[in-house]
Structure 1
Amino acid sequence: DEMMMMVYALRWTEFLRPSDASISYDDIPWIPVLAETRLGMDDGVEKFDILGISDHATHEEKKQAVRAASLRWHPDKFTQAFGRRLLEKDRGRVMESVKLMSQRINQLKDRLRAR
């Protein structure tokens, strides 16, 4: 849904503003479709619309979207950027969700390589 992805993009813009405030699980702008367990999959195959692009987008558009999402949701990069601000009570849940997102994005990366 295009509106959902626009809201997601705006939430990330806000989330990336410099701050020293603590971050809870609910503060993180999760990819909307990924946040709803397993919805973005069709017969076990990850769909590119989870990144806000069509499965019919060009190979280059898909590649750019996957690269941006991979960098954003890579567990080490996420920890480096936000780890010190994560609320301790939410840290495990946040990192488990980041790992899940990264794995699902990697499925899309694998689909691109297979073409």
Structure 2
Amino acid sequence: MAPVPRTKRSSDSHSHIPDEAERSYSFYYLYDSTSSDQHPPLPKAPNEHYVNYTDPWQDVAYAFSWAQEHHFEEMMRKNMETVEWVLRQQQRFVVDQVSYALEDMCRGFEMDLDTESWLKQAWEASARRERRSARREAETAKLLQREAEKRKKDREEKHRKTKTMVKAWKVYEERWARITSNAEEPLSFAAVPWPMVRKPTDATEITKDNIREFLLSHHHSEDVSSKDRIRAALKLWHPDKFKRTLDRVEEKEKARVEETAGVVARCLNGLMEELRKSR
């Protein structure tokens, strides 16, 4: 069988593509039509011309294909390295983000604890200030209340003393007016109008201060000077003047009345002397 002539390939082709004749010789099988139960025979060897023939572009195509495959494998290896690096970076990023988040949470928790502690301390300090302020206000209120009560008591005491003084002076004048107008009435120690707010029981209770308090009080005789008040009292209590009053005192009390009246006269003389020295 004569060899099949090869078809000319275009000069711009970079790969060897077998033509139809080569494909038929390469994959052609012969069957024996007379024996159907026999195994199909092995394919016949292609024409020797095609076995020994070497296409000059075939090596170039194989080399180019190998280079492309090697380049692709290198690209794939580098891409895989890049992908692995990216994955590692992503994992590190995730781990770092989780770590940062945990650190932030811890810091936030610490800040929350510090803030809570600070707020608690501030609240306690404010509560202490409020308690101190409340105590000061309570103490001030108590002090003001005590002062108000004291002023009230002082006013009441002053009013009581004024009332007592006015009443005592009125009784004093009325008693002396009655004694001087009625010479027959007997007198006792208690009936004598002593120049004091409270009636004495004996001569020891007669003092210059007690007589001054009663005789020179500003709650009575406002239009009479101190000198005139003392002078008027001496006219009643001088021993020569008081002798007529003493004669009307009961005998059993006469000595006590005379002694006490002498003390009154001496106190009046002392007050007059003080008044003279003060001028």
TM range (shorter): 0.7 to 0.9
Letter of the 2:172 counterpart: Y
Pair 1:18-2:182 in alignment: yes
What SS class does the counterpart of residue 13 from structure 1 fall into? helix
Q: CA RMSD in A?
A: 2.6
Aligned partner of 1:92 among 255, 264, 269: 255
Deviation of residue 106 (structure 1)? 1.3
Work out whether 1:4 is the aligned partner of 2:165. no
Whether 1:49 aligns to 2:213 is yes
2:246 equivalent to 1:83: yes
Cα distance 1:98–1:34, how it changes in 2: closer, same or farther (>3 A)? farther
Cα shift at 1:34 = 7.2
Could you say which structure has the greater relative contact order, defined with CA pairs below 8 angstroms and 6 or more residues apart? 1
Instruction: Name structure 1 gaps, 5 residues minimum.
Output: none
Task: Give 1:68 deviation, angstroms.
Answer: 0.5
- The two structures have a TM-score, normalised by structure 2, of 0.34
CA distance in 1, matches of 2:211, 2:257: 23
Instruction: Summarize deviations over 1:5-58 as a string: whole Å, max 9, x none.
Output: 1121112212222232322212211112374425762xxxx773321533xx99
Change (3 A) 1:21 1:94: same
Once residues 104 and 33 of structure 1 are traced to their aligned partners in structure 2, the CA distance between those partners, rounded to angstroms, is 15
Equivalent pairs counted in the alignment come to 107
CA contact (8 A) 1:24 1:86 kept: yes
Q: Is the 8 A contact 1:23 1:86 kept in 2?
A: yes
CA–CA distance in structure 2, aligned partners of residues 74 and 84 of structure 1: 14
* Structure 1 position 112 matched with structure 2 position 275: yes
Report the alpha carbon displacement of residue 100 of structure 1 after superposing the two structures with TM: 0.9
Cα distance change of structure 1 residues 34 and 111 upon mapping to structure 2, 3 Å threshold: farther
Structure 2: any 5+ residue segments left out of the alignment? 1-164
TM-score (normalizing by structure 1): 0.76
Once the two structures are aligned, what percentage of the paired residues are identical?
Answer: 27
Task: Tell me which of 191, 198, 201 is aligned to 1:27.
Answer: 191
